[in-house]
Amino acid sequence: MEYILAPSILSADFKVLGEQMKETEEAGAKYLHFDVMDGMFVPSISFGMPVLKSIKGATGQVMDAHLMVQEPIRYVEAFQKAGADIVTVHLEACEDIHATIEKIRECGMKVGLSVCPETDIKETETLIKEIDMLLIMSVHPGFGGQKFIPESLEKIRIARNMAKEQGFELDIQVDGGIYHNNVKEVLDAGVNIVVAGSAVFNGNPAENTRKFMEILKNYG
């Protein structure tokens, strides 16, 4: 199983976003996590399609769009046009999750499904066969720089077991409050894609990415 770092640009310095992305890519981060907030599903507003379109191609990184958006089915095509490679939607935000998953597939992108901390992970049990990646939120979505919720570890373990029982290897991503000093715990629980915002972009992004990659490369 491949262990991947997905730096979240929510904490980047937007004056020099392209340069910072490049630094993370050169230090080994294969994905770039793009947090979209609509002011409805979550209280805050971040950025959307025009920003993605502008940064697409600044690096060769996989554009991993996390839509914290009510009824994201409305924007799937627009994100595909803007350059998303993976579109992750929240189970809690979709009236028809099957139709939303189908729409992402039709647009030729990978499908991510996310659950908030208060959502029972068992609700995804019948859905994981239809998706490429399960994103377990380890903070309440909406802001960077929050503290990791320890109960997330048990959810990750349950998710990894559910996939095992159904006989396949699922990409499991964790997002929120991940730092160099707790990343090993989420890997042990069963995560293989790690999102980190503050821990990458506060300080020196190249150095911070390298430190994460050392841990991820030596894992397993």
- What is the rounded distance in angstroms from the CA atom of residue 121 to the CA atom of residue 124? 6
Structure tokens at 86: 């993976």
- What is the rounded distance in angstroms from the CA atom of residue 110 to the CA atom of residue 87? 6
CB of 214 to Zn ion, least distance (A): 23
CB of 31 to ligand DX5, least distance (A): 12
Point out the catalytic residue in the list 35, 38, 64, 171: 35
Q: Which residues bind ligand DX5 (CB under 6 A)?
A: 8, 10-11, 33, 35, 66, 139, 141-146, 175-178, 195-199
Catalytic, 175? Answer: yes
Are 116 and 140 in contact by the 8 Å Cβ rule? The answer is yes
- Say which entry of ligand DX5, Zn ion, none residue 191 contacts (CB below 5 to 8 A, set by partner kind): none
- Say which entry of Zn ion, ligand DX5, none residue 145 contacts (CB below 5 to 8 A, set by partner kind): ligand DX5
Burial of 135 (0-12, 13-18, 19+ CB in 10 A): buried
Residue partners of 16: CB distance under 8 A and separation at least 6: none
CB of 35 to Zn ion, least distance (A): 4
Are 66 and 33 in contact by the 8 Å Cβ rule? The answer is yes
Under rule CB under 5 A, residue 171 binds Zn ion = no
Length reported for the chain: 220
| Residue whose CB is less far from ligand DX5, 5 or 139 | 139
Under rule CB under 5 A, residue 90 binds Zn ion = no
- Say which entry of Zn ion, ligand DX5, none residue 152 contacts (CB below 5 to 8 A, set by partner kind): none
Sign of CA dihedral 130, 132, 136, 141: negative
Cβ neighbours around 129 below 10 Å, total: 11
CB of 43 to ligand DX5, least distance (A): 10
Under rule CB under 5 A, residue 23 binds Zn ion = no
- What is the rounded distance in angstroms from the CA atom of residue 36 to the CA atom of residue 38? 7
Under rule CB under 5 A, residue 175 binds Zn ion = yes
CB of 12 to ligand DX5, least distance (A): 10
What single-letter DSSP state applies at residue 193? Answer: E
Point out the catalytic residue in the list 38, 120, 175, 188: 175
Catalytic, 120? Answer: no
* Contacts (CB under 5 A) with Zn ion, residues 26-65: 35
- What is the rounded distance in angstroms from the CA atom of residue 168 to the CA atom of residue 142? 31
Residues forming contacts to Zn ion in the complex (CB under 5 A) are: 35, 66, 175
Would you name the residues annotated as active-site residues? 35, 175
